[in-house]
A and B are shown apart, each in its own frame.
Chain A
Amino acid sequence: QKEVEQNSGPLSVPEGAIASLNCTYSDRGSQSFFWYRQYSGKSPELIMSIYSNGDKEDGRFTAQLNKASQYVSLLIRDSQPSDSATYLCAVNYKDSNYQLIWGAGTKLIIKP
């Protein structure tokens, strides 16, 4: 069964704090992992991709990948009200012809 699990939230975080979003997947053969942000009524936009175990940083965003435990997370430092959105995790599944499998998303609310 192809699954990408995310807590639907909403996750409420005070402005300036660190927001932590988590995603677990079931295919040990997965090699590509993506985080997208989607504002209400808009299309998803890529935040970052990660392919190797460890951390990858881009500005205020850090993606963390742990293939042994089959999870990928996204940290947002110094959270801003403009970060309020739904965050989607996507994982490619080797045993499904590398189809991207999407989580249902976590709604993040940054409170001023």
Chain B
Amino acid sequence: KAGVTQTPRYLIKTRGQQVTLSCSPISGHRSVSWYQQTPGQGLQFLFEYFSETQRNKGNFPGRFSGRQFSNSRSEMNVSTLELGDSALYLCASSPGQSETQYFGPGTRLLVL
């Protein structure tokens, strides 16, 4: 079974731009969670989607948004990028609520 895929793997943007990251979960998984990780830091939870509905949300500004499609694929968007948004963005999928999460390889975003 194919794992979680994330595109793109690397991205360079400038301040003020916006970016969209994509995540395709493991086949059959209905839950997708997004995390931000900066060097030396733990996982900061962004949001979780289940069956196209946002179920949980972390403490991030409204510039960070996401959605999930009927095929469980998910996207997250960051508008008006700031230098501090430079990070590894990780997507994790799970079959359902509070089940084991499986991570994708991540998208490394650099904001200049």
- Contact string against B for A residues 80-109, beta-carbon threshold 8 Å, 1 for contact and 0 otherwise: 000000001010100011111111110000
Let me know if A70 is at the binding interface, CB within 8 A: no
Asked if B100 contacts A34 (CB within 8 A), the reply is yes
Asked if A43 contacts B56 (CB within 8 A), the reply is no
> Beyond A32-B98, A49-B100, is A99–B45 a contact (Cβ under 8 Å)?
yes
A-B contact count (CB 8 A): 44
Asked if A104 contacts B98 (CB within 8 A), the reply is no
Complex interface: chain B residues within 8 A of A102 (CB): 42-43, 45
Let me know if B20 is at the binding interface, CB within 8 A: no
- Contact string against A for B residues 83-112, beta-carbon threshold 8 Å, 1 for contact and 0 otherwise: 000001010000001111111111000000
Interface positions of A from 41 to 97, Cβ below 8 Å from B = 42-46, 49, 88, 90, 92, 96-97
Which residue of the partner chain B has the closest CB to A105? B42
Let me know if A31 is at the binding interface, CB within 8 A: yes
> Beyond A43-B106, A44-B103, is A103–B42 a contact (Cβ under 8 Å)?
yes
> Beyond A96-B56, A97-B56, A100-B33, is A46–B102 a contact (Cβ under 8 Å)?
yes
The CA of A103 and the CA of B44, in the complex, are separated in Å by 10
Asked if A104 contacts B97 (CB within 8 A), the reply is no
Let me know if B75 is at the binding interface, CB within 8 A: no
Let me know if B41 is at the binding interface, CB within 8 A: yes
- Contact string against A for B residues 55-90, beta-carbon threshold 8 Å, 1 for contact and 0 otherwise: 110000000000000000000000000000000101
Asked if B100 contacts A88 (CB within 8 A), the reply is no
The CA of A98 and the CA of B50, in the complex, are separated in Å by 12
> Beyond A31-B98, A34-B100, is A43–B105 a contact (Cβ under 8 Å)?
yes
Asked if A46 contacts B100 (CB within 8 A), the reply is yes
Complex interface: chain A residues within 8 A of B42 (CB): 88, 102-105
B interface residues (Cβ-Cβ under 8 A, vs A): 33, 41-43, 45, 48, 55-56, 88, 90, 97-106
A-B contacts besides A42-B105, A44-B43, A88-B43, 11 pairs, CB < 8 Å: A34-B100, A34-B101, A43-B90, A43-B103, A44-B90, A90-B101, A97-B55, A100-B33, A100-B45, A100-B98, A102-B45
